[in-house]
């Protein structure tokens, strides 16, 4: 019935399209103008590796000298359903696993950004003696949210990737050498763990 009405609106296939049914492209022709999921992307620009900004409120100098960071991988462990046969069917509802976040940054000549991470790690662990024993419960001072801003080719912010309740678990050392004639910056890496991350469109 709908097709017959569309045909009549089209002029019965002889008088031409009348416009009575917007988007109808004619009898026997797929109605591509009404496609819910078009096959053509909204943009053909690619995502470049330098389209990002990192914000760590607790580590302002690490943020300033940041060289690289990324969105960690995410995996989901399926649940095996026990059956009396040889193969267990896979079911959803398993455990999520977020990989750690690694941030690489240039160490400034006063080592202030490296020490920022060092002091944070020192404050959440019993490093040498009992003068810095952790409280019997965790406090908000142990954690900090980290935001990775993803931008497009026009350097406009598109997404915020927010890492919830992050804290550092590893910090690389600093290697000095007198064998090189060139003055090269020292790159350090800080590794953070967190509860989860979520992506918000801007």
DSSP annotation of 25 reads -
Is 70 part of a structural domain of the chain? yes
Enumerate the H helices of the chain as residue ranges. 2-9, 60-64, 112-123
Residues 63 and 138 in one domain: yes
Q: Strand 157-171 relative to strand 90-98: parallel, antiparallel, unpaired?
A: unpaired
> How many domains would you assign to the chain?
2
Here the tokens at position 1 are 């019935």
Residue range 51-108, pLDDT digits in tens: 999 999 999 999 999 999 999 999 988 888 888 888 888 888 878 899 999 999 999 9
Reduced DSSP (H G I as helix, E B as strand, rest coil) percent helix, strand, coil of the chain, to 5: 15, 35, 50
Which pLDDT score, from 0 to 100, does residue 129 have?
Answer: 65
pTM: 0.72
Which pLDDT score, from 0 to 100, does residue 184 have?
Answer: 87
Residues 82 and 107 in one domain: yes
Residues 99 and 20 in one domain: no
Residues 75 and 149 in one domain: yes
Domain that holds residue 79: 52-201
Under 8 Å between Cβ of 8 and 27:
no
Low-confidence ranges of the chain (pLDDT < 50): 1-19
Q: Name the phi and psi angles at 187, rounded to 5.
A: -105, 125
Which pLDDT score, from 0 to 100, does residue 20 have?
Answer: 53
User: CATH number, domain at 193?
Assistant: 2.40.30
Non-local (6+) Cβ contacts of 110 within 8 A are none
Residues 118 and 177 in one domain: yes
Q: Name the phi and psi angles at 132, rounded to 5.
A: -130, 50
């Amino acid at each position: 019935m709908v097709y017959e009405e569309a045909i009549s609106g089209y002029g019965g296939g002889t008088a031409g399209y009348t416009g009575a049914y917007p988007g109808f492209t004619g009898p026997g022709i797929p109605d591509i103008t009404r496609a819910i999921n078009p096959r053509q992307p909204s943009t053909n620009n690619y995502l470049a590796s330098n389209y990002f900004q990192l914000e760590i409120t607790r580590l302002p100098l690490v943020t300033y000298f940041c060289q690289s960071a990324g969105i960690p991988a995410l995996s989901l462990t399926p649940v095996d359903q026990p059956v009396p046969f040889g193969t267990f069917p896979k079911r959803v509802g398993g455990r999520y696993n977020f990989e750690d976040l690694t941030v690489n940054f240039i160490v400034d000549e006063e080592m202030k950004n490296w020490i920022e991470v060092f002091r944070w790690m020192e404050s959440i662990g019993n490093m040498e003696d009992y003068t810095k024993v952790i409280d019997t419960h965790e406090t908000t001072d142990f954690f900090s949210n980290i935001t990775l801003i993803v931008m497009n080719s026009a350097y406009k912010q598109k997404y915020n990737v927010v890492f919830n309740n992050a804290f550092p678990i590893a910090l690389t050392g600093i290697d000095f050498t007198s064998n090189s004639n060139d003055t090269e910056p020292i790159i350090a890496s800080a590794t953070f763990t967190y509860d989860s991350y979520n992506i918000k469109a801007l």
